[in-house]
Amino acid sequence: MSEKDIVKGCKRGTTAARQELFEQYAPHLMAVIYRYVANEDDANDVLHDTLIDVYTRIDSFKWGGKGSLKAWMTRIAINNSISNLRAQKRLVKNTLPLDNAGEPPDDDDQEMTSSVNNIDLDTIMSMIAELPDGYRAVFNLYCLDGYSHQEIANQLGISVNTSTSQLTRAKAILAQKIKAFANKQ
């Protein structure tokens, strides 16, 4: 079933279309959600809430071409993930002073680039999942989901400077983790 057919079927309320939507998109949505909440039980709860939101708000969805449904659902998943973190008060309390985060990575460091290229995706994702919640949220929004610091500030209720500094700290922590991993190899 095509994305457009899934939308039409869900708008009509057909069970087959809803099932197809779940089968095609739940794994992607779960991966996005898990990047934010980094806890399987919470991720399952957020996925459930996201799918309910998708099913109940599908009538407001405007078809924008192939990929638009996935993008729309991804935004809902991100918003629900952030709401989950906010409800648990996990966004602000899990931050570290800058001096504990280490030095920010040097973008020209070829050794670091080589180290990252030799690490499998699951290992990198687990390193990201270990970041403090606020750092992880900013890192995901900026680096993986393409939000600007202004959009992140609005989304998380923080200043642009806080978004920028949390991204710097997240990158520094990841650089330390990558370096330690590379040294073990």
Whether residue 128 sits in one domain with residue 72:
no
Query: Within this chain, do residues 126 and 154 fall inside the same structural domain, yes or no?
Result: yes
pLDDT reported for residue 102: 45
Whether residue 92 lies inside any domain: the answer is no
Residues 53 and 128 in one domain: no
> How many helices, marked H, and strands, marked E, lie in the chain?
10, 0
Last residue of a domain, one of 36, 61, 87: 87
Domain with 165 in it: 98-184
Instruction: Please indicate, yes or no, whether the overall pTM of this predicted structure exceeds 0.75.
Output: yes
In a domain, 48, yes or no: yes
Q: Name the nearest CA neighbour of 82 among 151, 137, 120.
A: 137
Kindly list the distances between the CA atom of residue 23 and the CA atoms of 38, 169, 180, in Å, as whole numbers in the listed order: 22, 37, 38
The reply to whether 81 and 110 lie within a common domain is no
Q: Looking at 87, 107, 131, which one is the last position of a domain?
A: 87
CATH code of the domain containing 21? 1.10.1740.10
Q: What is the largest CA-CA distance in the chain?
A: 56
pLDDT score recorded for residue 110 = 55
Cβ neighbours for 129, distance < 8 A, ≥ 6 positions apart? 34, 35, 38, 136
Cα separation, 131 vs 136, in Å, equals 5
Task: Evaluate the CA torsion angle 22, 27, 32, 33 in order and state its sign.
Answer: positive
Please tell me the predicted confidence (pLDDT) of residue 59.
Answer: 94
129 token code pair: 């999942």
106 and 81 in one domain? no
> pLDDT tens digits for 93-148?
344 444 444 444 454 455 555 556 678 888 888 899 999 989 999 999 999 899 99
Two tokens, residue 83: 């709401």
Assess if residue 93 is contained within a domain: no
- Mean pLDDT, residues 175-184 taken together: 88
Give yes or no: residues 177 and 106 share one domain. Answer: yes
Separation of CA 127 from chain center? 14
**What was the pLDDT predicted at 91?**
67
- The domain boundary, picked from 34, 55, 87, lies at 87
DSSP for 100-122? HH-PPPPTT-HHHHHHHHTS-HH
Regarding whether 83 and 140 lie in a shared domain, the answer is: no
For residue 115, the model assigns a pLDDT of 57
Q: How many domains does the chain have?
A: 2
Do residue 77 and residue 116 come from a single domain?
A: no
If one counts every other C-beta atom within 10 angstroms of the C-beta of residue 176, the result is 15
| Domain shared by 145 and 77, yes or no | no
What residues have CB less than 8 Å from 164, skipping those under 6 apart? 149
Nearest to 66 by CA among 117, 127, 5, 152: 5
User: Could you tell me if residue 149 is inside a domain?
Assistant: yes
Average pLDDT over residues 156-164: 91
Same domain, 46 and 107: no
36 and 14 fall within a common domain: yes
Same domain flag for 7 and 71: yes
Residue 151: give its domain's CATH number: 1.10.10.10
Decide which of 76 and 116 is more confident. Answer: 76
